[in-house]
Amino acid sequence: MSDTLPERRIPDRLNSRAYRLFRSWEALLLAVAIAIFVVNSFASPYFLSAWNLSDATFNFTEKAMIAFAMALLIISGEIDLSVASIIALASTAMGLALQYGAGTPELVVVGLVVGLLCGAFNAVFVTILGLPSIVVTIGTMSLFRGISYIILGDDAFRGYPSSFAWFGQGYIYWVFTVEMLFFVVIAVIYGVVLHKTNFGRAVYAIGNNPTGALFSGIRVQRVKFILFLLTGLMSGVAAVCLTSRLGSTRPSIAQGMELEVVTMVVLGGVNILGGSGSIPGVVIAAFVMGLVTFGLGLLNVPGIVMSIFIGLLLIGVIALPRLWTMLARRARS
Amino acid sequence: MLPRIIPVRETILAGAILALLALIASRFAGFVAPSNLANVFNDTSPLIILALGQMVVILTRCIDLSVAANLALTGMAVAMINVAMPGLPIPVIIVIALLLGAAMGAVNGLLVWKLSIPPIVVTLGTMTIFRGIIFLISGGKWVNSHEMSESFTGFPRAEVLGLPLLSWAAIVTVLLFAIMMARTPLGRSIFAVGGNPHAAVYTGINVGRTQFLAFVISGALAGLTGYLWVARYAVAYVDIAGGFELEVVAACVIGGISIAGGVGSVGGAVLGALFLGVVKNALPVVNISPFWQLAISGSAILIAVAFNARAGRKKGRIILKSAEAKS
């Protein structure tokens, strides 16, 4: 024991930008993505084909669209478990509109509007009535899908117009799909909104300290309202893409997708308790999940076994860093 | 004694159930015949048992979304054990079911306790993992009634004093819980942990451990229900009780158990489950498609949570934020 106090080191400058990037969660995730890519290309001879890889992007593009909005919502300290049910309801509404002779533009409008309305419904319960988002969205999760079941029963809507197929089955150029274009555009928009605008700063502020945010003049409830609207809207976009890709609507469409969306967000480094996270992280996480499920699919692993993997991923991604700090603390003391 | 809030809420709920029964009885008198009401109760028994387990978890500011998957996995496991060893006596099967379920609950509980991962994330994850494991152990195949032994499928249906054992299982669970919640240190600490984790720590209650025990209790009951479910319907496959966790949470929320923790009662959970059970059984009688069930329990959650929010007005996020108090 020395008799002088240990010198306190207060950094007078930040670490260099490159160093911080190198040490970040995103860099780790990117390394994982590259490793999975390499392993997959050795594990299956069919992996390294432009068309196969293009097909593989369908594994994550629709989920990722929702994941971007969900990332903002989780950063702000809320959550929306009803996204998959919003897809079901929006898709059912599109199918219903189809029965009344709606064309492709109308179908898209119906899908997006229903998504928005569902988001607004959640938002009213959470922001205006002040209820916890977990219970509200667990409720709407069964309500929205329940309405689909009431409308459809064990039936299905089919016969979407061929021009509608463009969204989920179309190609922009060579192997680049329309959904990929949506994915990129939405990623850029959300990246800019979260990282470069006042609104994005407000989202972080709310997630870190809602009371503090309120006292610094941020309209907390309004920001949250908008975030729920955005999540609903993105679910609507995903519903359009998914319905267009499948070409039919059943009430069980996108069942369990909320889990994959939340997993993607958490894997992307967003703190499940709110306050931190980034869009580039979610983008890389989307690729990681897409590559993994595609790779496992090529190895003939059934879908339900993949869901074990996703569940483990969700828990593992949160548990491992905590386990790590816990062990490190124990080793130090 | 001052009239407390909780009994009032239960009275309202009991009144709502009676009004519902009266409404149905005015059109279909047969529905309220004692034998049919006994059937409704028997049909609701699994929900009552699970709702009590869920109640304990929610009281400690957690949530368990893996109960239905736990139920299905335990059900499949005991069904396969029965096929492999038809001679195994039923009490042993029940003990196995309880232990298996408790083990799965312990996994949830340990992750919440030792790693302080938000319960919603843990149980969302284990929910899919358990379902996946059913597929792995069964290879996606069904276990059908002709493969199960007669005593295995007969147990929940065996009648004692005019009621099937399934109903008795629910009644015994209710009684045990009524004693546990009101008369044991564990029951009181469950309330204390949910009501105010910081204060609970200062009274010497281990918050994490109490949450862990809540998950174990919920898991054990899910395991028990798993056996009863599979034996009653005489079939086990990957998707049994799919989405049932939502109904269980709905029963709790309707029963006035605050999702923010610390507020709730055994009577509330039972009445919440009975309410859903009556609705479910009344639907075919009043000629409404069973496809309405999902939407009805969804709306019931929303209405109940909005209704209950007036009593205990606390801000949301509590389930996401695990109790800050670490011990």
CATH number at residue B83: 1.10.3470
- Strands A171-173 and A176-177 come out as antiparallel
Query: Which residues of chain B does A135 touch, with a Cβ-Cβ cutoff of 8 Å?
Result: 249, 253, 259, 301, 305
Please check the confidence at residue B146 and state whether its pLDDT lies above 50: yes
d(CA B57, CA B194): 9
- Would you call A319 and B131 a contact, using CB atoms and an 8 Å cutoff? no
DSSP A296: H
The reply to whether B246 falls in a domain is: yes
Residues 6+ away with beta carbon under 8 Å from B67 = B50, B53, B54, B218, B219, B222, B244, B245, B248
Are A281 and A269 in contact, with CB atoms under 8 Å apart? yes
**Going from the N-terminus, what domains does chain A have, and what CATH number goes with each?**
47-318 (1.10.3470)
d(CA A21, CA A67): 22
The reply to whether B156 falls in a domain is: yes
pLDDT for res A7: 67
Number of domains composing chain B = 1
The reply to whether B63 falls in a domain is: yes
Are B254 and B272 in contact, with CB atoms under 8 Å apart? yes
The reply to whether B254 falls in a domain is: yes
* Residues A238-259: tens digit of each pLDDT: 999 999 999 999 998 988 888 8
Please check the confidence at residue B43 and state whether its pLDDT lies above 90: yes
Q: Which residue of B has its CA nearest to A133?
A: B316
Query: Which residues of chain B does A134 touch, with a Cβ-Cβ cutoff of 8 Å?
Result: 63, 120, 259, 316, 319-320
A residues 128-167 lying closer than 8 A (beta carbon) to B: 129-136, 138-147, 149-150, 153
| Residues spanned by the domain of B219 | 40-309
Please check the confidence at residue B2 and state whether its pLDDT lies above 60: no
A135, A262, A273 member nearest B124 (Cβ): A262
* Residues B44-81: tens digit of each pLDDT: 999 999 999 999 999 999 999 999 999 999 999 999 99
Range among A51-60, A107-116, B289-298 rated most confident? A107-116
Query: Which residues of chain B does A322 touch, with a Cβ-Cβ cutoff of 8 Å?
Result: 115-117
pTM: 0.86
- Would you call A132 and B321 a contact, using CB atoms and an 8 Å cutoff? no
Q: Any alpha helices (H) in chain A, and if so which ranges?
A: 17-23, 25-43, 50-56, 61-75, 83-99, 104-123, 133-152, 166-169, 178-196, 198-208, 210-215, 220-246, 257-267, 279-298, 303-332
Disruptive mutation site among B130, B248, B296, B301 for chain A (greatest number of A CBs within 10 Å): B301
- Would you call B259 and A132 a contact, using CB atoms and an 8 Å cutoff? yes
Please check the confidence at residue B264 and state whether its pLDDT lies above 80: yes
Query: Which residues of chain A does B111 touch, with a Cβ-Cβ cutoff of 8 Å?
Result: 315, 319
The reply to whether B20 falls in a domain is: no
CB atoms within 10 A of CB B222: 38
Mean pLDDT, residues B93-103 taken together: 96
A321 and chain B in contact, CB less than 8 A = no
Please check the confidence at residue B1 and state whether its pLDDT lies above 50: no
- Would you call A135 and B249 a contact, using CB atoms and an 8 Å cutoff? yes
pLDDT for res B184: 93
pLDDT for res B93: 93
Burial of A89 (0-12, 13-18, 19+ CB in 10 A): buried
Q: Which residues pair with A157 in a beta bridge?
A: A249
Please check the confidence at residue B11 and state whether its pLDDT lies above 80: yes
**A2: number of CA atoms within 13 Å, CB side?**
4
The reply to whether B170 falls in a domain is: yes
The reply to whether B292 falls in a domain is: yes
Mean pLDDT, residues B150-170 taken together: 89
